[in-house]
Amino acid sequence: MLEAIKSEIEANVSGCRLEVVPNSSPSGQHSLLIDCERALAVARFLRDAAHLRFDYCSNVTGIDWPGKEIVEKEKIKKLVDGVEQEVEEVRKTQSAGHLEAVYHLYSMEKKHGPVILRMRTKNRSDQTHLPSLTPIWRSAEFQEREIFDLYGIVFDGHPDLRRILMWDGFEDHPMRRDYVEPDDYEYEPTPHDEVLEKSKQHTHGVRAR
Amino acid sequence: MSTATEAVRLIPKPTDSHECQLLEVSMGPQHPSTHGVFRMDVALDGERVVKLKPVFGYLHRNHEKIAETESYLGSMPYTDRLDYMCSLTSNWAYALAVEKLAGIQVPERAEYLRVITAELTRLQNHASLIGFLLQDMGASGTPLMYAFREREKILDLFEALTGARMMCNYMRFGGCRVDMPAGWLQQAQKVVDAFPRFLDEYEQLFTENEILMARTQGVGVLSGELAVNAGITGPMLRASGVNYDIRKVDKYGIYERFAFRVPLGDHGDVYDRYMLRMLEMRESVKILQQALRDIPPGPIMDPKTKIRGFRPKAGEAYGRTESPKGELGFYLISDGSSNPYRYRVRPPSLVNLTVLEGMCLGQNVADVMAILGSVDIVMGEVDR
């Protein structure tokens, strides 16, 4: 089904690059990776095409894929003590990683689905913009706000993009894999485990009272 | 990024005219009718609501982050705390998503146990919701106490079956935790048989009650079209006349075996939402009668499923159920390790609040409480 939808989108939305992301789990829920420039057109087509009518966007969520260390080994010829030798050189680079937004679409009219859309940001640091699909499905409004809050994806075109669960003055994005919680010590009457260790650092081992 | 940090200005620029002075009211977070710690920034023009912005997060504990550090089984008790009125349906939604992720089959008796517990949960949720709704509208005490009297009988059944009244932690991947004790089925039958009598009594009190009708009819109207687009699910969607019940659409579990109808509303107002829940309870009683009659003997756990040290293959799955509040879904990504790489709850309570402002605009401030009460939210699920 997904392949058919893919070719239909390609026929109807000009210049759209799509990619099927396979899912190896028994659920068999494969997804479509859509390109961000044409995302709104793709979404509008899926919602309005008479035989598809994905009028209901159920679940919207973010995923963090941090960069991985890529180890490349290369054999180069070098002069060692005047003799040419083959030396293996190891180069380590860090891939940028990306953030992902996932949309689960169903059709209430045709009672079919899900079709799963994915969008990826270019990296996790400065290019974290994605187009908002709230103009197409209002159900994304709070859920995109939540992704912005917890993952830091900025949705362009969202009508009211503010933090939703954390407070306005909060700075980081807690659902990121590399999030470190701030060391905000508070007096704890019965500390134990990690909290005890933390309170020891702050009170230099001296318990109050 | 400026949109994120700027607080929303509710009050428009002051004008010279005295007529358009707006009053800013912060409703909540500590108020009995906000159903938990929930706040609304409301701007009023006299009695009329001209702006309403919901404020969330007072109960936020990053349930999803905690689940990423827990084993798959370890998250099951946490799902009880999402919608603490309906822990059994939350259990089921999570178990269903994991079963999809790992391709687990559930034995028949366990499927029946799931249906029985889920429909009992729906009964007590809808009954108490109506009680709360009437309480919010000033019918102090009686409706809620009547509902709680019935709810107590169902909670007693839960306690006998699972060991807990509210935090049941009952379902497992591939079945249920324990089988029913001796005499439980008869007791459940008794409660279910007596329930329609309670509904008759309840309806006699309220359905044609003049005050209820005056307060709720034509209040908080939501069109079917907007409801679909805004992702509204559950009784609220069906009260707007959209026929979409996941028990019928997905036929998860064994719901295709039961004969029941999906009640639909006409007007999408608060009264329809009240009435729809009344009718849904009668349908749930029908399902329960059939399930209690047909439940077969047999195992309650899939013998091939390893509960401890459970490691599903890498992949992802989205499983959804019709919880009493709407579509409760779990989206899981496995990387092959013993805890999920990503664990996401699709909370019906939060998404159903998307249209709250639209429903309240132009209404009287006293109606806000009735509209909010008819949405049916639980903050444990909204804020996670």
pLDDT (tens digit per residue) in A49-67: 888 889 999 999 999 988 8
- Mutate which: A108, A112, A167, vs B, most B CBs within 10 A: A108
Q: Are A148 and A186 contained in the same domain?
A: no
Through-space distance between the first and last CA atoms of chain B, rounded to whole angstroms: 25
Q: Is residue A84 part of a domain?
A: no
> Are residues A165 and A190 both part of a single domain?
no
pLDDT of B92-135, one tens digit each?
999 999 999 988 889 999 999 999 999 999 999 999 999 888 88
**Boundary residue ending a domain (B31, B55, B79):** B55
Whether the CB of A205 is below 8 Å from some CB of chain B: the reply is: no
Backbone φ, ψ for residue A57 (5° rounding): -100, 110
DSSP A166: S
* Structural domain harbouring B40: 2-55
Domain co-membership, A147 together with A204? no
For residue range B222-258, list pLDDT tens digits in order.
998 899 999 999 999 999 999 999 998 988 889 999 9
Contact B231 A175 (CB under 8 A): no
Instruction: Name the DSSP class of B14.
Output: P
Most B-contacting residue of A165, A173, A178 (CB-CB within 10 A), to test interface:
A165
Question: Residues A141, A187: one domain?
Answer: no
pLDDT digit string, tens, across residues A65-88 = 888 888 877 777 777 777 877 777
Same domain, A108 and A147: yes
Q: In this complex, do B229 and A55 lie within 8 Å of one another by their Cβ atoms? A: yes
Between CA B41 and CA A44 the distance in angstroms is 33
Tell me the CATH number at A44.
3.30.460.80
Half-sphere exposure of A110 (CA within 13 A, CB side): 17
- Number of domain units in chain A: 2
In a domain, A73, yes or no: no
Rounded to whole angstroms, how far apart are CA atoms B243 and B50? Answer: 31
Tell me, yes or no, whether A162 and A198 share the same domain.
no
For residue B2, pLDDT over 50 is answered with no
Same domain, B127 and B196: yes
Nearest to A27 among B101, B350, B384 (CB): B101
**Same domain, residue pair A203 and A108:** no
B275: domain CATH number is 1.10.645.10
Q: What is the pLDDT of residue B117?
A: 93
Residues A186, A106 share a domain: no
Look up residue A100 and give its two tokens: 């992902």
B181 and B307 assigned to the same domain: yes
Start-to-end Cα distance in chain A: 68
Are residues A26 and A110 both part of a single domain?
yes
Three-state DSSP at B228 gives: helix
In a domain, A200, yes or no: yes
What residues make up the domain containing A192? 181-209
Q: How far is residue B127's CA from residue B150's CA, in Å, rounded to a whole number?
A: 8
Q: A126 with A209, same domain?
A: no
- B333 and B235 in a common domain: yes
Chain A residue numbers touching B312 (CB-CB < 8 A): 25
Contact B102 A154 (CB under 8 A): no
Q: Cα dist. A18→A4, A119, B289, B311, B327 in Å? A: 12, 10, 49, 31, 29
B86: exposed, middle or buried (Cβ count in 10 Å: 0-12, 13-18, 19+):
buried
Omega of the bond leading into A114 within 30 degrees of 0 (cis) = yes
Bridge-partner residues for B332, per DSSP?
B317, B343
CA A15 to chain B, closest CA, distance in angstroms equals 27
Q: What type of residue is B50?
A: V
Q: Would an 8 Å CB–CB cutoff place B77 in contact with chain A? A: no
Query: Is there a single domain that holds both residue B40 and residue B147?
Result: no
Q: How far is B222 from chain A, CA to nearest CA, in Å? A: 14
Contacts of A159 in chain B (CB under 8 A): none
Interface pTM (ipTM) of the complex?
A: 0.85
Q: Is position A88 within any domain?
A: no
User: Least CA distance to B226: which residue of chain A?
Assistant: A138
- Residue A71 within a domain: no
In this complex, the residue of B60, B102, B317 whose CB is nearest that of residue A165 is B60
Q: Which residue of A has its CA nearest to B53?
A: A160
* Residue that is written with structure tokens 């969008």 in the block: A119
Our count of domains for chain B comes to 2
Contact A165 B383 (CB under 8 A): yes
Distance, CA of A11 to CA of A50 (rounded, Å): 15
Q: What is the pLDDT of residues B328-345, one digit of tens each?
A: 999 999 988 889 999 999
Same domain, yes or no: A21 and A56: yes
Taking an 8 Å cut-off on Cβ atoms, the answer to whether A24 and B329 are in contact is no
Asked whether residue A28 is assigned to any structural domain, the reply reads yes
Closest in B7, B100, B316 to A168, CB measured: B7
Q: What's residue B79's pLDDT? A: 92
Quote the CA–CA distance of A83 and A89 in Å, as a whole number: 17
Judged on CB neighbours under 10 Å (0-12, 13-18, 19+), B20 is exposed
pLDDT band at A206 (very low <50, low <70, confident <90, very high): low
The pLDDT of B3-11, averaged and rounded, is 43
Q: Do A147 and A188 sit in the same domain of this protein?
A: no
Amino acid letter, residue B343: Y
Per-residue confidence at B197, pLDDT binned at 50, 70, 90?
very high
Measured in degrees and rounded to the nearest 5, phi and psi for residue B329 equal -125, 155
| pLDDT tens-digit readout, B127-148 | 999 988 888 888 888 888 999 9
Q: Do A25 and B4 touch (CB under 8 A)?
A: no
Window 17-76 of A: residues touching B by CB (8 A cutoff) are 23-27, 29, 55-59, 61, 63
Task: Specify whether B172 is located in the same domain as B45.
Answer: no
Classify strands A112-120 and A31-34 as parallel, antiparallel or unpaired.
Answer: parallel
Chain B: closest CA distance from residue A139 (Å): 4
Using only the alpha carbons of chain A, give its radius of gyration: 24
Quick one: average pLDDT of A161-178? 88
Considering the domain architecture, whether residues B34 and B140 belong to the same structural domain is answered as: no
- Burial label for B171, CB within 10 Å (0-12, 13-18, 19+), is buried
Model confidence band, residue B5 (pLDDT cutoffs 50, 70, 90): very low
Please state, in angstroms and rounded to a whole number, the distance separating the CA atoms of residues B21 and B13: 10
**Integer Cα distance of B21 and B46 in angstroms:** 8
Note whether B72 and B149 are within 8 A (CB): no
| Those residues with Cβ within 8 angstroms of residue B209's Cβ, 6 or more apart along the chain or in another chain | none
Residue B18: is its pLDDT beyond 70? Answer: no
User: Six-digit token pair at B59?
Assistant: 């109960």
pLDDT one-digit tens code per residue, B35-65? 778 888 889 888 888 889 999 888 898 899 9
Chains A & B: contacts with CB separation below 8 Å: 124
Q: What tokens were used for A189?
A: 């009457």
Task: Read off the pTM.
Answer: 0.86
